[in-house]
Amino acid sequence: MQTNPTYSSLVALGDSFTEGMSDLLPDGTYRGWADLLAARMAAASPGFRYANLAVRGKLIQQIVDEQVETAAAMRADVVTLVGGLNDTLRPKCDMVRVRELLTEAVERLAPHCGQLVLMRSPGRQGPVLERFRPRMEALFECVDELAERHGALVVDLYGAPSLADPRLWDVDRLHLTADGHRRVAEAVWQTLGHTPDDPDWQLPPEATLPPRWTARRAADARFARQYLLPWIGRRLTGRSSGDGLPPKRPELLPYEAR
């Protein structure tokens, strides 16, 4: 791996994680780790170009159908692909099919970019994760196998203690906070061979007093009402939070940080 390499372009594929939820900007849009990474890469490379094809709620089949061919045609220096996790959270998930589709995505992308980057996605602590952990770890085994076969880099967010800390997750318990996204950007930056800005990104924030029992129960009730029940409703009706939404940044254009 080259130290402090210079890249001229970045294309990011995926779902809400790569779109940047819940790193909310004042104008109501999302920033997220991919934008933060693009800003750092642009600072080191005049004329740097960036596209982000991610759309919240996308399953791996949709990423393959709607994003992969577009990304391959862009022939970027760096392509990041994070997908399949939404599939593992569905009540019915065919992990054999998920592996096949992720394999197809990697095989179509790897020959058409300078460096492909895959990820072992973060997972917060809690009972919900435990139910889906076997599927997630099966997905990550596939990621590791594909990376070795095709020369891709793997960013291990799943093994980072900081990103398992509930304090780095938003109130919806599905998306990282702004600090969580910052840490992901740092992890990818380092994996690409750059000098660390935050060598301790994997370490959790300093310990704080846990919330009282009543506050935790109130938060649980608010979470169920505002996020869990609507999420279940979408699963039962076959809808997605990303239905009808365009890609975040569909063209590979010069990038200026917001």
pLDDT tens digits, residue range 215-252? 656 655 565 566 555 555 555 566 666 667 899 999 99
Cα dist from 146 to 111, 208, 234, whole Å: 13, 39, 31
How close are the terminal C-alpha atoms of the chain, in Å? 30
Which is higher by pLDDT, 120 or 258? 120
| Span of 26-30, 97-101, 216-220 with lowest mean pLDDT | 216-220
Q: What is the pLDDT of residue 206?
A: 76
Q: What is the pLDDT of residue 179?
A: 96
| Higher per-residue pLDDT: 226 or 67 | 67
**pLDDT level of residue 38 (50, 70, 90 thresholds):** very high
CB 108 within 8 A of CB 143: no
Query: What's the longest Cα–Cα distance across the chain?
Result: 54
Determine the pLDDT at residue 243.
65
DSSP string for 213-226: HHHHHHHHHHHIII
pLDDT at 100 (0 to 100): 98
Q: Is the separation of the CB atoms in 23 and 31 below 8 Å?
A: yes
Q: Are 106 and 116 in contact (CB under 8 A)?
A: yes
**Count of alpha carbons within 13 angstroms of residue 219, beta-carbon side:** 12
Q: Long-range contacts made by residues 166-169, C-beta under 8 angstroms, separation at least 24?
A: 166/124, 166/125, 166/126, 167/204, 167/205, 167/208, 168/124, 168/204, 168/205, 169/124
Share of the chain above pLDDT 70, in %: 84
- Burial of residue 216 (number of CB atoms within 10 Å: 0-12, 13-18, 19+): exposed
Q: Write down the H helix ranges in the chain.
A: 16-19, 33-43, 60-63, 69-74, 85-88, 95-109, 127-150, 178-191, 213-223, 229-237
Query: What mean pLDDT comes out for the span 73-82?
Result: 98
> Are the CB atoms for 109 and 68 separated by under 8 Å?
yes
Q: By mean pLDDT, which of 70-74, 99-103, 112-116, 253-257 is the weakest?
A: 253-257
Q: Could you tell me the CA-to-CA distances from 113 to 68, 99, 106, 213, 250 in Å, in that order? A: 12, 21, 11, 50, 17
**Residue-level pLDDT at 2:** 66
**What's the full length of the chain, in residues?**
258
Give the tokens for residue 151.
């020369």
CA distance 149 to 168: 33
* Overall pTM > 0.85: yes
Percentage of residues in the chain with pLDDT exceeding 90? Answer: 71
Asked if the model's pLDDT at residue 210 lies above 80, the reply is no
Residues 6+ apart with CB under 8 A from 151: 110, 116
